Amino acid sequence: MKRRVVITGLGAVTPLGCSVPETWEAVCAGRSGVAPITRFDSTLFDTKIAAELKTFDPLQYVNKKEYRRLDDFILYAIAASEMAVADAGGAITGTNAERAGVIIGSAIGGLSTIEKEKETLTAAGPRRISTFAIPAVLCNLAGGHVSIRFGAKGPITCPVTACAAGTNAVGEAFRLIQDGYADVMIAGGVDAAITPLGIGGFNAMRALSTRNAEPEKASRPFDRDRDGFVVGEGGGILILEEMTAALDRGARVYAEMAGYGSTCDAFHMAAPPPGHEGAVRCMQAALRDAALAPEAIDYINAHGTSTPLNDAYETQAIHTVFGVHSDRLAVSSTKSMTGHMLGAAGGVEALFAALAIRDGVVPPTINLDRPDPDCDLDYVPHTARRQAVRAAMSNTFGFGGVNAVVILKEFRP
C-alpha cells in the first residue's frame, strides 16, 4: 500500500513578492513582475528586461558573514524553506529528524559566483579566489544548507534537470514518503540566473523576449505576438508529510499530492518534438500514478513559457491527453507574471496549484491579447476566475527533453 502524502507548508520568494501571501495576491490580481534589469548594465544586450526579486532582504534569514559566502540561489532556498517550515508548524522535530529529508532542484546553481570569481581570477590570479567559491556554486548546496539549518538527516538530493528541476524535486520527495523512505520532506526549486552570462547565453540561443519597451507585456504565453520567455528568479518550497503523522499533530493541510510523472523526449537538446509526445506520456503517467481519469482534472498550470514552439506543442499535448475534456479545462500560465523562474518554476507553480485548490481560484494568463489560432484552450485570459478546483496538474518541461508533471488534489481524510 502506498502511503498518502499531504502538503502542510509553503514558502516562496518571487518577482511578485517575498512571501506566499504577497505573491499569491499579486498572481490573482494579474500583476506582472517583469521590469528593466537593474542587476547589471544591459545596454549591450538584446534583452534588457527580467523578472527580478525586488524587495528581498537576505539579512532577514542569514547574518552578514553568511551573506558574503552564499550565492543568491542558496539564499533564496534558505528564505523560502524558513517560510515553509514555519508555515508547517512543527513538521521537523528532534524525534523525526532522521526521517526528514530535503530535495531542492536548480537548473543553473551559482552562476553569479562563477562570474565574480572568474573576474577575480583574471584580475588578481588564482590565490585570490574565495575559499567559499565552489560551495557557493554547487547546485546541491541549496539543499545542503537547508538540511543543516533544520537538522533534516534523512534523504537529500538535487535534481539538475533544467526547467523541470523544481517539479522533479517535489515528485521525488512525494515518492520517498509514499514508499516509506521518509516521513517529511522539504522540496522545491530555486534559481538566480539574472546575470550577464545568463541573459547573454539565452540571448545567444534566441530564446528570450526582446520586448524591452513594454516589460510588463513581454511574457505573453499562447499569444500570437509572443517572442520568447522572460528570465525570472527566486524559489518555491513545499513541506510534504505522510498523512497520518500530519493529522496526528493537527497540521493544516493545503492539498494532497496525488501523482507524479517523469519522461524524456530523447529528441533534441532544446526543442520539443512535434506534438510534444514526451509531454503526452508524462501527463498520462502522472494521471495513472494518481489513479485519476483525465476528466477529474479541473485546472492545469501550464509550462507556458511564451516561446513559439513550446506553447503550441503543449496545447497539442493537452488535447491528446484530455480529448473532449480539453474544452472544459481551465489552463493558465503564471509565467506571464513571474517570468520563467527556470529551476524554481516547478516549486512555485506546484505551490500555486495547491493554493488554487485551497481557495477555489484559477490564476489568469495575462497579456493574452491576440490568441494564437494554434493555441485554442481556455487560458483564463487577463482575470483570475473563481471556480472549484478538485484536482490540479502542474507541467514543467526542460532542456534535454526532460518532462515532469505533478498532480495535486483536494484533501479528504
Question: Of 145, 282, 340, 375, which residue is the catalytic one?
Answer: 340
Q: What pLDDT was estimated at residue 6?
A: 98
- What gap in Å lies between CA 12 and CA 156, rounded to an integer? 20
Question: Of 18, 303, 319, 375, which residue is the catalytic one?
Answer: 303
Widest Cα–Cα separation across the chain: 64
Please confirm, yes or no, whether 303 is among the known catalytic residues.
yes
Q: What pLDDT was estimated at residue 275?
A: 86
Mark which of 248, 279, 297 sits at the end of a domain.
Answer: 248
Question: Distance from first CA to last CA of the chain, Å, rounded?
Answer: 16
Residue 302 lies in a domain: yes
**283 and 156 in a common domain:** no
Amino acid residing at 303 = H
pTM: 0.97
**299 and 217 in a common domain:** no
Question: Of 163, 282, 319, 375, which residue is the catalytic one?
Answer: 163
Q: What pLDDT was estimated at residue 1?
A: 80
Residue 311 lies in a domain: yes
Domain containing residue 152: CATH number:
3.40.47.10
Please confirm, yes or no, whether 276 is among the known catalytic residues.
no
**161 and 62 in a common domain:** yes
Amino acid residing at 51 = A
**36 and 107 in a common domain:** yes
Range of the domain at 364: 258-409
Residue 325 lies in a domain: yes
Mark which of 195, 230, 248 sits at the end of a domain.
Answer: 248
**230 and 209 in a common domain:** yes
Cβ atoms within 10 Å, residue 46: 16
- What gap in Å lies between CA 198 and CA 343, rounded to an integer? 13
Indicate the average pLDDT of the chain. Answer: 97
Residue that is written with C-alpha cell 487577463 in the block: 382
Q: What pLDDT was estimated at residue 286?
A: 98
Quick one: cell of 23?
Answer: 505573491
Strand 100-105 relative to strand 156-157: parallel, antiparallel, unpaired?
parallel
Residues of the chain with pLDDT under 50: none
Strand order in the sheet with 299-301: 156-157, 100-105, 184-191, 234-242, 5-13, 255-264, 402-409, 391-398, 299-301, 330-332
Q: What pLDDT was estimated at residue 279?
A: 98
**118 and 210 in a common domain:** yes
**177 and 288 in a common domain:** no
For residue range 89-146, what is the model confidence (pLDDT) as tens digits? 989 999 999 999 999 999 999 999 999 999 999 999 999 999 999 999 999 999 999 9
**315 and 176 in a common domain:** no
**218 and 356 in a common domain:** no
Please confirm, yes or no, whether 163 is among the known catalytic residues.
yes
What total number of domains does the chain contain? 2
Contact 87, 10 (CB under 8 A): yes
Is 217 exposed, middle or buried (CB count within 10 Å of its CB: 0-12, 13-18, 19+)?
middle
- What gap in Å lies between CA 378 and CA 370, rounded to an integer? 13
**199 and 118 in a common domain:** yes
**365 and 327 in a common domain:** yes
**272 and 244 in a common domain:** no
Residue 253 lies in a domain: no
Mark which of 208, 223, 248 sits at the end of a domain.
Answer: 248
Residue 244 lies in a domain: yes
